[in-house]
Structure 1
Amino acid sequence: MSSQPLTGPPELSPSVQARLAPPVRLLSAGPWTARPVGDELAHVSYAGREVLRAVKAVVRDHNWRTPKPSVRNVEIKQDDDGLQVRWAVAFAGYGVEYDGQLTAEFTPTTVEISFEGAAVHAFRSNRIGLVVLHSPAETGREITVEHPDGGSTAAQFPHDISPHQPFTDIAALEWADAGTAFRLSFTGDVFETEDQRNWTDASFKTYSTPLSLPFPVAVAAGDTVRQSVLLETATLEPQEAVEAAAVAARVASSLPTAVSARIGAEAGRVPALAVGAGSQPGVLPEIPGLDALVVELVDEENDADRSLWADRLEAAAAAASIHGAGLDIRAVTADPVGAVADLAPYLPQAKRLAVFHPDTHITEPDSWPALKESAHAAGFGGSLLAGTRAHFTELNRESSRTPSDSDALTFSITPQMHSTEAAHVIDSVPMQRLVAQNALRLGGGRPVHVGPVTLLPRFNAVATSGTESEAEADELQGEPFTAAWTLASINALTMDGVASVSYFEASGPTGISGADGQLNPAGELLKELAGLRDSVVLSVDADAGPVTLYPVRSRAGLVIFAGNLSGSPVTVDVRLPDGVSASGAVCAAFGQETPAVIRFSTNNDGDPAAGRLTLGPWSAGVVHFPESNFPAPG
């Protein structure tokens, strides 16, 4: 192995660089620390303990879309009395122009964030104002909800993902943590809290205005919104402890550059992997072991006879035969029986079939018996799925209406329903595991087919205008970052009961290959993993921070997939299973030059099973160990 150091971050466009590594500044005032990141005041911490994940202002249009915020004119003033931060945020997009001014004032016992915003011109809006994000680590914490009428309610942050708002009619929230009491009060509107884990956001969100009030509302040019949130502490710790905790928080907040990991016994199996067919499935190069191509078919007004469905299905069926894969058909129609009649020629080849209503995006129970009967009469012998084409949210909220005799459940995942910041996209990964566990709970033991998993939403599931925007492409789609994120997602979704996971599309801006048939980094990862379907995945005992290790015991020996979701090189000291030699490893990077991105070497401590893995920034790759090092069982 070369002794040359790994290179720094890969060459990135300015916009991608800004997404992956936005400027971050640590604010410190007495016991408080916080980090301005983009338009958020993030990681508001007291004496080294995070109290609020973030506070930010949001503007949503009538279809719940978020005009892009841009930050300007940041002013920071600090003196003996405390710290004041002011910044302007301009929101623009979807026909909306809105200007806001935010101020954060820190004193030894309080943090107050104020917002004043005004519309540049008239538009319709579903929400304008401050939102507070609470960490998912708050799960189970007891809290007191104070109401505008002076009353209060004892509650707690839910363990299972709550389908509806756990706290409503909020004037203030009170709780205690490690001997310190906190009170978070709101002015300018009535607030409520929702469980954003439904959308794989790593947060609970307290926001205004209550959803029980009518929306959208007309906003006239010049209309102004004024809100504030005040975070107070009831007690102070000794100053020496406060200062020590603040220092510890600054140290702990930095990304690790060296971690250790021990690979253990069987922890699961590589799930079946599928890919969305998209509009050009034939462009995708052969992927042996691919489970299925997911074909999404939506009733269109200009396609009354569904002739476009036939074209899509013909192309997908031809492509699927190249991969030795099946079809996973997802139809969106108010006429399930008629749709099945049109699908009949392709149903014998289909592994899975699901039908969703175009208005609710779920499998409607009233039409389920007829759908089931007509599908079986048409010769369909695969798994008939129920659930939603949208987020886990819809499955969670409509669980009582989901047909109980389906063969399996399904829902989709996108990490950017509410935020596009890279940190939120990364933090969605453990929430993916949580929503899958909750789906298995709702299904009562039925298997779950997750996907499509996409970086951006495929359609607007909450539009109020009755129209859907077409799927947008994320500039990160073809980056090695997305391979590392996809590996982390597969790792999170590797569990008993998750029968398959589908990712992205075959080709194009939202796909895993280009028009020339060349796989992008995420496509290279999926191709390698698809061939290991149902192979044993080994456990990893590690506090690996931004690193994902996914060890697979294959017939060709031990394979370790690795990803680094950080902008710094990372070293991992790896202890392989007993009897496995760390020598002879062969590395390959996905989408980047291998020697500059991933390396594996034996340690010089006399332990033949000890090795050292090095990963470059925002990278993913794989390490193959010879079969003689790890003979396959049986």
Structure 2
Amino acid sequence: MTSGNPSAADLKAIFGTDRKPDAETTHRLGSFEVTMANGQITAIHRAGQEIARGLTYLLRDKDWATCPADSDMPHAAGKIDVQGRIDASGIAFSYSLTVEPDGHDALTVRSIGVAKSDFLANRIGLTILHPVPDTVGVPLEIRHLGGGHTQCQFPRHIQPSQPAFDIAALSYPLPDGATLQITFEATNPDGTPVCFEMEDQRNWGDASYKTYIGSLLDPWPFAVKAGAVFKQSIRIAVSPASKVRSKTRTTVHKPRPFRLPELGASIPLGQGPEALLNITHHGAPPAAFVSAYLRSDRIDPDDLQAIKDVAELLSCPLRLELEIHGKPKETVPQVARKIRGCGLNVAQILACPAPYLKSYQPGGDWPDVEPLEVFYARVRDGFPTAAIGGGMLTYFTEINRKWPPTDTIDFIGHAYCPIIHASDDKTILQNAATLPLMADTIAAHARGLPYDLISASLSMRSNPYGAVPVPNPEGRRMAMAQADPREGGAFAGLWMLAIAEKLGQTHARSFCVGALAGPASIYDACAKDGRRPSFDAFAALANLAGADRQTFDAEVARLRTTTYAQAWAALRHLHV
């Protein structure tokens, strides 16, 4: 693959699509290097130091999906100008973005957005990302819209709610001892001032904290009328380090002795027959266990039989992930009888009440669900020989907002998807850095309990933040996509290796990546051998269970120079 003009075949082999990654350009503005891609700021550096992991203009629709934008960057001397347009799902919107130096050590980003139609939105405007791990635990000063100040720090353990509210300015030290000052200004269409707010994006699997326009405390979605104008700006300024530098930074994550967790093979909802067909026709991968996803209201005997056959063919214990719909008192015994009736020998199960498949703000209105202690007791009664898990079938966000009672469960788990907020190649690989921080937070809440990452995939298997994951018939790189095209390319294999490398630094007992069927499948019936490139990474990781750092690194190096040589040459500059 030539870096300048890769062929469609090369792109397909690496990314599972012949769509090129967004081209990046770097612009020197004062003392800053501003990297742009697809009309958005993807990074800001100064003196080789990362100042921001992104500074973007986004419109999030009523389901929190990011509306795709088309943009132009007309030539402008000494500054960056962007003209953007959104026309999707009944939303018409245009915006302009200007980035220019304000002296040598300051940079200002200004935006004006104009609604061209009536629509509902959850967020419109500027967002800045503070990079992890550089900012974790760092002292932080907040100036509020009314003029008051708060002294705090970027949280170490991942926060379920916003760590900072009512933000007009932020100030904190950089790794080299300099001070970064960020000032925010914004007005509503009616001219009233708007504050910014911060969330701990690690909660969603992003390697950053995010400061964004508006507040999650305000009602959403909100109605936008055609003609509404949104004005905002962010100013970034750096003050040089003093000659005497104080010690303000602490160790973020102390890695344990490296040990690779055992790897399981996933069967997505309703995909038992397809999984069985794949391993029968195209070869069975090694795996420590099989993990099948079920819904209590969609139990299919043919699906259960196929799941049983897969576990027997792989000579693996069976784990279940189970949505409980309806009243648990009635539903749990009913579904347990159906599962036992098909002869499934369940080694462990993580069940979840259906209302908890959606996400709720920590201080918001939660559904009326029986206490989890009672719920887990029902599950244990239904599956008396199985280990009973607590946690969520969705993502870390949800478990961090509703911790299970640890004295009633045998293990704890959640799923992971790296494209909840952004879907570019670099962000996906960067986001793997959050996994050790998730594990640290899990350990703080559930000391001594085994920890399983029950699912990790590039494609979003469920959407707790909206109706469903976003359909992706054109195979684009998009946030919250139901099917990510990179599952079909070598990218997925390299991503699996990156996930495993981070998990090996934690106390995680097991993990699942990819799947035996569905969007994240390691199989492709159209391929010559029926397998996607990710099959090789999956098989290698399964065989490496319990491996130390030296053994793991040697196998990764082998794969990068053989199976994934072409992809590694194209992507190695993105690995962090």
What TM-score do you get using the length of structure 1 for normalisation? 0.74
| Structural mapping, 1:47-446, within 5 Å | 47-72=47-72, 74-78=73-77, 83-107=78-102, 108-136=104-132, 137-177=134-174, 178=176, 180-188=178-186, 189-234=194-239, 267-278=258-269, 279=271, 280-285=274-279, 286-287=283-284, 289-298=286-295, 306=297, 308-334=299-325, 335-337=327-329, 338-346=331-339, 349-361=345-357, 366-399=370-403, 401-446=404-449
- The answer to whether residue 483 in structure 2 is matched with residue 473 in structure 1 is yes
Could you give the per-residue CA deviations for residues 133-191 of structure 1, whole angstroms, max 9, x where no partner exists? 11111112212100111110011111111222111110111234345333211111210
The corresponding residue for 1:483 is 493
Shift of 1:41: 1.4
User: Structure 2, unaligned stretches of length 5 or more?
Assistant: 187-193, 244-255, 359-366, 472-480
Residues in 1 aligned to 2:16 and 2:298: alpha-carbon distance in whole angstroms: 40
Are 1:172 and 1:184, in contact at CA under 8 Å, matched by a contact in 2? yes
Shift of 1:397: 1.9
The corresponding residue for 1:555 is none
Residues in 2 aligned to 1:488 and 1:95: alpha-carbon distance in whole angstroms: 38
Letter paired with 1:461: P
**Helix, strand or coil: the match of 1:212?**
coil
Shift of 1:365: 7.9
Letter paired with 1:398: K
Shift of 1:411: 0.7
**Helix, strand or coil: the match of 1:488?**
helix
Residues in 2 aligned to 1:129 and 1:395: alpha-carbon distance in whole angstroms: 29
Shift of 1:281: 1.6
**Helix, strand or coil: the match of 1:389?**
strand
Could you give the per-residue CA deviations for residues 36-75 of structure 1, whole angstroms, max 9, x where no partner exists? 1223213222333222222111111111111112322x03
Shift of 1:344: 3.1
**Helix, strand or coil: the match of 1:35?**
strand
The corresponding residue for 1:451 is 454
Could you give the per-residue CA deviations for residues 361-386 of structure 1, whole angstroms, max 9, x where no partner exists? 28998354444444444454222111
Letter paired with 1:75: P
Name the structure where strand makes up a greater proportion of residues.
Answer: 1
Are 1:289 and 1:324, in contact at CA under 8 Å, matched by a contact in 2? no
Could you give the per-residue CA deviations for residues 518-555 of structure 1, whole angstroms, max 9, x where no partner exists? 12111222123323434x32348xxxxxxxx634xxxx
Residues in 2 aligned to 1:50 and 1:193: alpha-carbon distance in whole angstroms: 19
Residues in 1 aligned to 2:287 and 2:57: alpha-carbon distance in whole angstroms: 43
Seen in structure 2, the aligned counterparts of structure 1 residues 433 and 209 have a Cα distance that, compared at 3 Å, is same
Residues in 2 aligned to 1:509 and 1:289: alpha-carbon distance in whole angstroms: 20
Residues in 2 aligned to 1:88 and 1:175: alpha-carbon distance in whole angstroms: 32
- The answer to whether residue 5 in structure 2 is matched with residue 12 in structure 1 is no
Residues in 2 aligned to 1:504 and 1:352: alpha-carbon distance in whole angstroms: 20
The corresponding residue for 2:362 is none
**Helix, strand or coil: the match of 2:157?**
coil
Shift of 1:448: 0.9
Shift of 1:392: 0.8
Letter paired with 2:392: T
Letter paired with 2:449: R
User: Structure 1, unaligned stretches of length 5 or more?
Assistant: 239-264, 300-305, 541-548, 552-558, 565-586, 591-595, 599-614, 620-634
The corresponding residue for 1:629 is none
Seen in structure 2, the aligned counterparts of structure 1 residues 151 and 296 have a Cα distance that, compared at 3 Å, is same
Structure 1 vs Structure 2: percent identity of aligned residues?
A: 22
Residues in 1 aligned to 2:500 and 2:173: alpha-carbon distance in whole angstroms: 36
Question: How many pairs are equivalent?
Answer: 516
Across the aligned residues of Structure 1 and Structure 2, the Cα RMSD in angstroms comes to: 3.2
Residues in 2 aligned to 1:58 and 1:404: alpha-carbon distance in whole angstroms: 43
**Helix, strand or coil: the match of 1:460?**
coil
Shift of 1:33: 1.3
Question: Larger Rg: 1 or 2?
Answer: 1
Select the residue among 567, 570, 574 that pairs with 1:617.
Answer: 570
Seen in structure 2, the aligned counterparts of structure 1 residues 55 and 420 have a Cα distance that, compared at 3 Å, is same
**Helix, strand or coil: the match of 2:96?**
strand
Residues in 2 aligned to 1:364 and 1:269: alpha-carbon distance in whole angstroms: 39
Seen in structure 2, the aligned counterparts of structure 1 residues 365 and 539 have a Cα distance that, compared at 3 Å, is farther
Bigger mean CA deviation after superposition, 16-25 or 454-463: 16-25
Shift of 1:477: 0.8
Could you give the per-residue CA deviations for residues 575-629 of structure 1, whole angstroms, max 9, x where no partner exists? xxxxxxxxxxxx7516xxxxx759xxxxxxxxxxxxxxxx64349xxxxxxxxxx
Residues in 2 aligned to 1:152 and 1:364: alpha-carbon distance in whole angstroms: 38
Are 2:261 and 2:511, in contact at CA under 8 Å, matched by a contact in 1? no
**Helix, strand or coil: the match of 2:485?**
coil
Seen in structure 2, the aligned counterparts of structure 1 residues 452 and 353 have a Cα distance that, compared at 3 Å, is same
**Helix, strand or coil: the match of 1:267?**
coil
Letter paired with 1:354: L
The corresponding residue for 2:27 is 27
Residues in 1 aligned to 2:178 and 2:185: alpha-carbon distance in whole angstroms: 23
**Helix, strand or coil: the match of 1:26?**
strand
Residues in 2 aligned to 1:161 and 1:20: alpha-carbon distance in whole angstroms: 34
The corresponding residue for 2:249 is none
Shift of 1:453: 0.6
Are 1:8 and 1:617, in contact at CA under 8 Å, matched by a contact in 2? no
Shift of 1:225: 1.1
Residues in 2 aligned to 1:291 and 1:309: alpha-carbon distance in whole angstroms: 25
Seen in structure 2, the aligned counterparts of structure 1 residues 439 and 93 have a Cα distance that, compared at 3 Å, is farther
Letter paired with 1:346: I
Could you give the per-residue CA deviations for residues 324-356 of structure 1, whole angstroms, max 9, x where no partner exists? 123221222243341342233535511221221
Residues in 2 aligned to 1:134 and 1:563: alpha-carbon distance in whole angstroms: 33
**Helix, strand or coil: the match of 2:400?**
helix
Seen in structure 2, the aligned counterparts of structure 1 residues 382 and 56 have a Cα distance that, compared at 3 Å, is same
**Helix, strand or coil: the match of 2:142?**
strand
